[in-house]
Amino acid sequence: MTSLARAFALFFFALPLWAIPSSASGEGARDGPNLKLEGGKWFDGESFIDAEWYVVGGRLTGQEPEKVDATVHLDGKFILPPLADAHNHDAQNIWSASRSIDKNLSAGVFYSAQMCANPAKVSEFKGLLGRPNTLDVTFTGACISSSDGHPLGLAMRDQPDVTPETLREGWTVVDTLEDIERVWPGIAEGRPDLIKLILVNSEHYEKNRHDTAMFGFNGLDPSLIAPLVERAHRDGIRVVVHTDSAADFEVAVSAGADIIGHLPGYRFARNMEPADYRISDATIAEAAKRDTTVMTTTGVARYYLQAKPEHTDVLQSIQIDNLRRLYDAGAQLVIGSDQFAGTAVDEILYLHTLGVVPNTELINMAVTDTPKLLFPEREIGRFEEGAEASLIAYSANPLTDLTTLRSPSLIMKQGNLLNIGISE
Ligand SMILES: [Zn+2]
């Protein structure tokens, strides 16, 4: 047994699941053992450097404590802060949440935003999450669409025996300015950090809402986005906008949305042309100026391309063109996978195939920018004095081969070694 495995076994058995204190606020295991983390190469935003850290009270310190309970030999491993996924739906109910914990942790993903959660449902299982051995999740406090809007179409397909009226109870329906006033008190009462607004091909809003084939696949009236953003900002709530076409992206940016939920070009909708997904230079400049954050979700295109492989070249050329101009303009990009069965690692590897963002920047987006977007108050995303003692160690250098991200060799969350998805 290696010393690493010994330390691992010791802590796994010493810290049974669920016996670990809650850390919804990222507090970590205050009474956990004092650890010495020896011999690792630590990511500093550019490269990996030799360093030695200690863990005291679930946090990193450079100062040796009086008593060290155990030494973790990192033996030249490459160490990253944990990854985040800013866009998923894999922990929106108790059964998917319980499955998603291991899936994410074993991929080194500790932080997740759930983009269309129903607050009443979430309150039933939220206590499972935000612990040193589970996933830290931020939920949208409302997911707002039109009465004929996405995700109704998907819900009707999945549950054909349920009426649209019942299905719509899963999110918030807004068709008019008066509706905003009606639903707002209920949303504000939950004091959410984030809400999500849904736009789908808003340039054809008037036409599509009268097209019965589009029933369930539309989005909000684009003229309601600015009033909704204004209402949310008055209450200190950040706004994510689900965007499909380039026109949706423009509506969201000019309305002052904080975050764009999808980079346009992950699919081509019915009756739309590839050119409808090319974001204008002026909108890109505006997004950079306003510091609008863009969730990538590029890899979700693979589902569309499975059905329409003949669109691969043109679709990817649009993704590359949008991404390159956003990246060159200095727009804030974050990793969002939107892959129910996948993780942030799948998104990173797909982004890599597009060849726009250098590996170092992809890693920085995943381990620093995205965690900071989801949990701005927490000391995560960097190895520094007082930061949460959360890390993922790899046997090879992920900067030179991103597929290394698929096989962590050690996972520590807030000072606890986790016995999950480890490859030797
Ligand atoms: Zn989504």
Write down the pLDDT at residue 315: 98
Q: How far is the CA of 96 from the centre of ligand 1 (A)?
A: 15
Write down the pLDDT at residue 3: 45
Write down the pLDDT at residue 32: 84
Name which residue leads in pLDDT, 421 or 40. Answer: 40
Q: Which of 5-14, 101-110, 385-394 has the lowest mean pLDDT?
A: 5-14
Q: How far is the CA of 343 from the centre of ligand 1 (A)?
A: 13
Q: How far is the CA of 138 from the centre of ligand 1 (A)?
A: 14
Q: How far is the CA of 332 from the centre of ligand 1 (A)?
A: 19
Q: How far is the CA of 76 from the centre of ligand 1 (A)?
A: 38
Q: How far is the CA of 87 from the centre of ligand 1 (A)?
A: 6
Q: What is the pLDDT of residues 142-153, one digit of tens each?
A: 999 999 999 999
Q: How far is the CA of 119 from the centre of ligand 1 (A)?
A: 16
Q: How far is the CA of 43 from the centre of ligand 1 (A)?
A: 30
Question: Do β-strands 48-56 and 83-88 pair in parallel, antiparallel, or remain unpaired?
Answer: unpaired
What's the chain look like in SS3? Answer: CCHHHHHHHHHHHHCCCCCCCCCCCCCCCCCCCCEEEEEEEEECCCCEEEEEEEEECCEEECCCCCCCCEEEECCCCEEECCEEEEEECCCCCHHHHHHHHHHHHCCCEEEEEECCCCHHHHCCCHHHCCCCCCCEEEEEEEEEECCCECCHHHHHHHCCCCCHHHHHHHCEECCCHHHHHHHHHHHHHCCCCEEEEECCCHHHHHHHCCCHHHCCCECCCHHHHHHHHHHHHHCCCEEEEECCCHHHHHHHHHCCCCEECCCCCCCCCCCCCHHHHCCCHHHHHHHHHCCCEEECCHHHHHHHHHHCHHHHHHHHHHHHHHHHHHHHCCCEEECCCCCCCCCHHHHHHHHHHHCCCCHHHHHHHHHHHHHHHHCCCCCCCCCCCCCECCEEEECCCCCCCHHHHHCCCEEEECCEECCCCCCC
Write down the pLDDT at residue 274: 96
Mean pLDDT of 318-341: 97
pLDDT at 414 over 50: yes
Query: Which residues line ion ligand 1, judged by CB < 5 Å?
Result: 115, 338
Contact 81, 381 (CB under 8 A): yes
Q: How far is the CA of 263 from the centre of ligand 1 (A)?
A: 12
Q: How far is the CA of 24 from the centre of ligand 1 (A)?
A: 24
Q: How far is the CA of 167 from the centre of ligand 1 (A)?
A: 17
Q: How far is the CA of 212 from the centre of ligand 1 (A)?
A: 23
Mean pLDDT of 230-244: 97
Q: For the beta carbon of residue 304, count every other beta carbon within 10 angstroms.
A: 16
Q: How far is the CA of 69 from the centre of ligand 1 (A)?
A: 44
Residue 352 is which amino acid? H
Q: How far is the CA of 338 from the centre of ligand 1 (A)?
A: 5
Q: How far is the CA of 154 from the centre of ligand 1 (A)?
A: 12
Q: What is the pLDDT of residues 345-380, one digit of tens each?
A: 999 999 999 999 999 999 999 999 999 999 999 999
Q: How far is the CA of 302 from the centre of ligand 1 (A)?
A: 14
Mean pLDDT of 308-331: 98
pLDDT at 16 over 90: no
Query: Residue 50 CA to chain centroid, in angstroms?
Result: 29
| Residues whose CB falls within 8 Å of the CB of residue 278, separated by 6 or more in sequence, listed in order | 246, 264, 265, 318, 321, 322
Write down the pLDDT at residue 26: 52
Q: What is the pLDDT of residues 269-300, one digit of tens each?
A: 988 999 999 999 999 999 999 999 999 999 99
Q: How far is the CA of 414 from the centre of ligand 1 (A)?
A: 28
List the structure tokens of 6: 């010994």
Q: How far is the CA of 423 from the centre of ligand 1 (A)?
A: 30
Q: How far is the CA of 289 from the centre of ligand 1 (A)?
A: 25
Average pLDDT, rounded, for the chain:
92
Contact 261, 295 (CB under 8 A): yes
Q: Which of 7-11, 41-45, 238-242, 383-387 has the lowest mean pLDDT?
A: 7-11
Q: How far is the CA of 339 from the centre of ligand 1 (A)?
A: 8
Residue with tokens 């002052």: 256
Q: pLDDT > 70: what percent of the chain? A: 92
Q: How far is the CA of 165 from the centre of ligand 1 (A)?
A: 22
The total number of residues shown for the chain amounts to 424
Write down the pLDDT at residue 8: 42
Residue with tokens 């809650």: 22
Q: How far is the CA of 90 from the centre of ligand 1 (A)?
A: 10
Q: What is the pLDDT of residues 397-413, one digit of tens each?
A: 999 999 999 999 999 99
Mean pLDDT of 97-101: 92
pLDDT at 14 over 50: no
pLDDT at 323 over 80: yes
Mean pLDDT of 256-265: 98
Name which residue leads in pLDDT, 323 or 13. Answer: 323
pLDDT at 164 over 60: yes
Residue 6's pLDDT band (cuts 50, 70, 90): very low
Write down the pLDDT at residue 424: 54
Spell out the domains of the chain, with CATH numbers in brackets.
Answer: 3-81+383-418 (2.30.40.10), 83-374 (3.20.20.140)
List the structure tokens of 70: 């155990």
Write down the pLDDT at residue 118: 85
Angle ∠(229,343,290) on CA atoms, nearest 5: 30
Q: What is the pLDDT of residues 167-220, one digit of tens each?
A: 998 899 999 999 999 999 999 999 999 999 999 999 999 999 999 999 999 999
Residue with tokens 């909000």: 220
Q: How far is the CA of 95 from the centre of ligand 1 (A)?
A: 18
Residue 423's pLDDT band (cuts 50, 70, 90): low
Q: How far is the CA of 262 from the centre of ligand 1 (A)?
A: 8
Q: How far is the CA of 403 from the centre of ligand 1 (A)?
A: 24
Question: Do β-strands 83-88 and 78-80 pair in parallel, antiparallel, or remain unpaired?
Answer: unpaired
Give the residue among 73, 81, 83, 31 at the shortest CA–CA distance from 52. 73
Q: How far is the CA of 199 from the centre of ligand 1 (A)?
A: 12
Residue with tokens 């006033």: 181
Residue with tokens 């739309």: 272
